[in-house]
Amino acid sequence: MKILIMGCGRVGAQIAALLEQDGHDITILDIDAYSFRRLPPDFKGTALLGNGMDGDVLKRAGIEEADVFIAMTQGDNRNVMAAQIAKHIFHVPRVISRIYDPLRQEMYDTLGLEAFSPTAIFAELVREKVES
Amino acid sequence: MYIIIIGGGRVGYYLAKALLNEKHEVLIVEKNAQFCDIINEEMGSVCVRGDGCEAATLTEVGTSRADMLVAVTGEDEDNLVACQVAKHKFNVPRTIARIRNPQNEAIFKKLGIDVTVSATNIILEAIEKEVPTHPLTHLITRADKGLEVVEVRIPQDAKTIGKSVKEVRLPEGTKLALVIPKDRKPAIPNPGTVIREGDQIIALTTPELEEELRAILTGI
């Protein structure tokens, strides 16, 4: 599959590495070239400098052929906006985004975005650990 | 009207002042405590500190009874989310977003924002008006109706000079509303009106057809 990831932080870089191992074609976007240091040294995908909320940058990154778009920046609103552009403007078949704020995540989930909240997931995980 | 403004920066500040002068009920949501203090000192208690994209903050300021929410922070994505939360969680009838990237106008419209205001576009339009050589000027744009009113000046070497309106094949969906000749009175054009050099023509068109209209009227 052709997978486009926005945000090359720890999580974004790790996802890129894992999915590449599984044989997928990866393009990863970040607004800071320094972030690409997190990619494994043998990364064969494309690392592209640019803002994932900009339609022209997304086109250059090949969003029109992408099967999956993953929004993984630090900013909830940036992820929300880029994910909606991917879904509603470029009609990417599968769009996944991280939204830290559980309330916002819930709302966008009901609006049809596949969003998950690390805050909610982690809190639940810790609760289980504590209570087990 | 009860109007909520997200972002207490320069735009939010002056917008609030103008709306208060017009006797509207205004409330600003601003993240920065210092900005909040300044606004509250100057305008009375009209500013609440908080994140305007968070449902909790919007509940606190009574967004469900707001007639309008205007998001004017410096970040397009924050303005988008504030408007979407207001629309989907609080059913605010009208949402307006400030945008910095003119590209986002079409995107925001598609994502359900009622009105977008782009300072970049406004400045561009103002420059167009001040540059006399530019043959097409935007007078009014109604993005929500896909309609614009433009002014086209007929340059001296235009192919249309001497032709009547009915001889000029205008794109479908475009109408000439008014002709302002250089030295005669303005008139509403009829099929027999002859186009002359220097005429200012006010026309109704759409963003898609504007380039074609300009090419036909000013074509060489």
Interface test with chain A among B31, B60, B84, B91, by most A beta carbons within 10 Å: B84
Distance between CA atoms of B108 and B77, rounded to whole angstroms? 10
At residue A66, the 3 state secondary structure works out as coil
Whether the CB-CB separation of B46 and B28 falls below 8 Å is answered with: yes
Chain CA centroid to CA A20, Å? 15
**What's the pLDDT tens digit per position in B27-81?**
999 999 999 999 999 999 999 999 999 999 999 999 999 999 999 999 999 999 9
* Domain ranges, ordered by start, for chain B: 2-120, 132-218
Interface test with chain B among A53, A57, A60, A89, by most B beta carbons within 10 Å: A53
Looking at the predicted structure, is the pLDDT value of residue B119 above 90? no
**What's the pLDDT tens digit per position in B85-100?**
999 999 999 999 999 9
What's the confidence (pLDDT) of residue B155?
85
Whether the CB-CB separation of A51 and A57 falls below 8 Å is answered with: yes
What's the confidence (pLDDT) of residue A108?
93
The mean per-residue pLDDT over the stretch A110-131 comes to 94
Report the amino acid identity of residue A30: D
Q: What is the DSSP letter of A111?
A: T
**What's the pLDDT tens digit per position in B159-169?**
889 888 888 88
* A47 part of contact set with chain B, CB < 8 Å: no
Looking at the predicted structure, is the pLDDT value of residue B217 above 90? no
Mean pLDDT score of chain B, rounded to an integer? Answer: 90
Name the band, by pLDDT with cuts 50, 70 and 90, for residue A101: very high
At residue B99, the 3 state secondary structure works out as strand
Interchain pair B77, A53: CB under 8 A: yes
Q: For A40-117, where are the alpha helices, taking DSSP H only?
A: 55-60, 76-84, 102-110
Tokens of A48: 């592209």
User: How much of chain A, in percent, has pLDDT values that exceed 70?
Assistant: 100
Name the band, by pLDDT with cuts 50, 70 and 90, for residue B157: confident
What's the confidence (pLDDT) of residue B136?
82
Interchain pair B77, A84: CB under 8 A: no
Q: Which CATH number characterizes residue A68's domain?
A: 3.40.50.720
CATH of domain B2-120: 3.40.50.720
Chain CA centroid to CA A78, Å? 11
Q: Which is nearest to A27 in space by CA: A86, A112, A100?
A: A86
Distance between CA atoms of B153 and B179, rounded to whole angstroms? 10
Domain B132-218 has CATH 3.40.50.1100: no
What's the confidence (pLDDT) of residue B220?
60
Distance between CA atoms of B44 and B13, rounded to whole angstroms? 13
Looking at the predicted structure, is the pLDDT value of residue B25 above 90? yes
Q: Which of B55, B77, B110 sits opposite A75 (nearest CB)?
A: B77
Looking at the predicted structure, is the pLDDT value of residue B170 above 90? no
* B105 part of contact set with chain A, CB < 8 Å: no
Domain that holds residue A50: 2-131
Whether the CB-CB separation of B39 and B28 falls below 8 Å is answered with: yes
* B109 part of contact set with chain A, CB < 8 Å: no
Distance between CA atoms of B106 and B111, rounded to whole angstroms? 9
Q: Look at the alpha carbons of A91, A96, A97, A102 in this order and tell me if their dihedral is positive or negative.
A: positive
Distance between CA atoms of B138 and A129, rounded to whole angstroms? 63
ipTM over 0.95: no
Looking at the predicted structure, is the pLDDT value of residue B198 above 90? no
Chain CA centroid to CA A26, Å? 12
- B85 to chain A nearest CA, in Å? 8
Is 0.90 topped by the overall pTM? no
Looking at the predicted structure, is the pLDDT value of residue A104 above 80? yes
Looking at the predicted structure, is the pLDDT value of residue B132 above 70? no
What's the confidence (pLDDT) of residue B173?
85
The mean per-residue pLDDT over the stretch A89-109 comes to 94
Distance between CA atoms of B220 and B216, rounded to whole angstroms? 9
- A74 to chain B nearest CA, in Å? 13
Q: Considering its fold, how many domains does chain A have in total? A: 1
What's the confidence (pLDDT) of residue A131?
95
Tokens of A128: 């289980």
User: How much of chain B, in percent, has pLDDT values that exceed 90?
Assistant: 58
What's the confidence (pLDDT) of residue B134?
67
Distance between CA atoms of B214 and A83, rounded to whole angstroms? 37
Interface contacts A/B by beta carbons within 8 Å? 51
The mean per-residue pLDDT over the stretch B89-116 comes to 92
B82 HSE (CA, 13 A, CB side): 31
